């Protein structure tokens, strides 16, 4: 069904002759499609859509501060509008954390949103023009108008070079997206961040700061690390293709507000 969801997103892009991110004015398209968007305080949800007879109302949680996340929530709810034939409960942050949500309708809405905001050919063209690493992720999020997480997942699954992005929370892997050309592809969800990784050091730093002050008062994202060589053991020692003494590059974004670290890996 994700194939059909992507096709619906393509129809919208073609309908409004959109050929680049600068031409993609999401709220204008939604309004033209008889969808009203408003911000509201939602309990337990970050987005919800209600619709009937070709008209709809999308509500997004007023507490979302990041513009890129707001856009993805809007696109996700549009995905429900175009692909599902009845109203449903709202969507949680968990539903939007990864394109591979275990709930099929959420996975379809995520696939629609990703294809609408970041069509595969746009992403491949962008990747070809930029070097691997954290700058690629930051520039990608800005270029496509999405969150760092959404940009990372899409670049990893669509790009043309060996690249992986991993989100860890409270010292454990929460989700990951790994390009098919990356030499390894297996990290168990819930995997404890290895103390040989640089991400581990950032979690140690977060824990130390919590003992002295409220870490949630800090910036949502901070302390972008330098790219460092790291043994593949730090992340992939359980992978069937594991190679001893194999080095990859690791770079991280510290997210103390979320008790998380976003890790970017790429092959040498």
Q: Note the pLDDT tens digit of each residue in 123-143.
A: 999 999 988 888 888 999 999
CA gap 95, 110 in Å, rounded? 8
**Among the three residues 117, 150, 185, which one is the final residue of a domain in this structure?**
117
Do 96 and 155 share a domain, yes or no? no
Do 143 and 260 share a domain, yes or no? yes
User: Is residue 125 included in any domain, yes or no?
Assistant: no
For residue 151, pLDDT over 60 is answered with yes
User: Is residue 126 included in any domain, yes or no?
Assistant: no
Do 185 and 104 share a domain, yes or no? no
Which residue did the predictor score with more confidence, 99 or 213?
Answer: 213
236-240: long-range contacts, CB 8 A cutoff, minimum separation 24: 236/184, 236/186, 236/187, 237/194, 238/186, 238/187, 238/188, 238/191, 239/184, 239/185, 239/186, 239/187, 240/186
In which band, very low, low, confident or very high, does the pLDDT at 29 lie, cut at 50, 70 and 90?
Answer: very high
Do 92 and 196 share a domain, yes or no? no
Report pTM: 0.84
User: Is residue 65 included in any domain, yes or no?
Assistant: yes
**Which run of H or of E encompasses 47?**
strand 47-52
pLDDT of residue 202: 93
Residue with tokens 């031409």: 23
Among the listed residues 121, 124, 119, 122, the one whose alpha carbon sits nearest the alpha carbon of residue 160: 124
User: Is residue 175 included in any domain, yes or no?
Assistant: yes
pLDDT of residue 144: 97
* CATH number for the domain harbouring residue 59: 1.10.10
- Is the distance from CB of 20 to CB of 122 less than 8 angstroms? yes
Do 137 and 243 share a domain, yes or no? yes
Range of the domain at 106: 2-117
Name the average pLDDT for the chain. 87
pLDDT of residue 218: 46
Do 140 and 27 share a domain, yes or no? no
Do 146 and 248 share a domain, yes or no? yes
* CATH number for the domain harbouring residue 216: 3.30.450
Number of CB atoms found within 10 A of residue 116's CB: 28
Do 62 and 158 share a domain, yes or no? no
């Amino acid at each position: 069904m994700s194939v059909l969801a992507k096709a619906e997103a393509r129809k919208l892009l073609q309908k409004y002759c959109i050929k680049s991110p600068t031409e993609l004015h999401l709220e204008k398209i939604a309004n033209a499609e008889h969808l009203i968007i408003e911000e509201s305080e939602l309990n337990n949800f970050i987005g919800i859509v209600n619709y009937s007879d070709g008209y709809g109302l999308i509500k997004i949680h007023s507490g979302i501060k990041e513009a890129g996340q707001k856009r993805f929530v809007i696109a996700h709810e549009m995905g429900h509008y175009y692909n599902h034939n009845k109203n449903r409960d709202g969507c949680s942050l968990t539903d939007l954390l990864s394109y591979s949500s275990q709930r099929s309708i959420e996975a379809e809405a995520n696939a629609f949103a990703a294809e609408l905001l970041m069509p595969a050919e746009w992403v491949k063209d962008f990747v070809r023009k930029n070097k691997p690493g954290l700058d690629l992720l930051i520039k990608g999020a800005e270029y496509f108008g999405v969150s760092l997480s959404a940009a990372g997942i899409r670049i990893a699954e669509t790009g043309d070079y060996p690249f992986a992005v991993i989100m860890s929370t409270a010292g454990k892997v929460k989700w990951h997206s790994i390009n098919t050309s990356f030499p390894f592809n297996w990290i168990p969800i819930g995997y404890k961040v290895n103390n040989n990784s640089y991400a581990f050091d950032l979690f140690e730093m977060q824990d130390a700061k919590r003992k002295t002050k409220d870490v949630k008062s800090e910036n949502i994202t901070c302390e972008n690390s330098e790219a460092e060589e790291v043994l593949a053991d730090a992340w992939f020692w359980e992978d069937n293709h594991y190679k001893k003494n194999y080095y990859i590059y690791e770079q991280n974004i510290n997210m103390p507000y979320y008790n998380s670290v976003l890790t970017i890996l790429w092959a040498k």
